[in-house]
Amino acid sequence: MQGSDTIFDKILAREIPAAIVYEDDDVLAFKDIQPQAKVHVLVIPKRRAASLNDLKDQPPSNISAFLIGVSNAAEHLGLVQGGYRVVLNTGRDAGQTVFYVHAHILGGEPLGTFGS
């Protein structure tokens, strides 16, 4: 979905429900509806960007706040000790389907070798 009215805009605006697991001033984190791992959470910045390509045009403080928010969400989920994977699908070839930038956090179990 492209434009500024994606499903994640609606989740952030609380117009549609989501299983929210973490929130702070900068990010919102909620469970992916089609989990690919025992823990699969999506983290979005509260200041919207369509993808990483657009996020890079924002002030560096916004970008660092997003990454810190991803790390804080993973910590909140108890993933620090075991480790976790962060994926930022960007654009068509990566299979990005929702054009509101989002980090996938995957973990809670040993993950396959990347790309397998």
Q: Which residues bind ligand AMP (CB under 6 A)?
A: 7, 18, 30, 32-34, 42, 89, 95-98
Comparing every residue's Cβ against ligand AMP, the nearest one is 89
Distance of alpha carbon 109 from alpha carbon 97, whole angstroms: 25
**Shortest distance (Å) from residue 109 CB to ligand AMP:** 17
**Shortest distance (Å) from residue 77 CB to ligand AMP:** 15
Annotated catalytic residues are: 102
Element (H, E) at 68: helix 60-76
Closer CB to ligand AMP, residue 2 or residue 64? Answer: 2
Distance of alpha carbon 73 from alpha carbon 52, whole angstroms: 19
Residue 58 backbone phi and psi in degrees, to 5: -85, 165
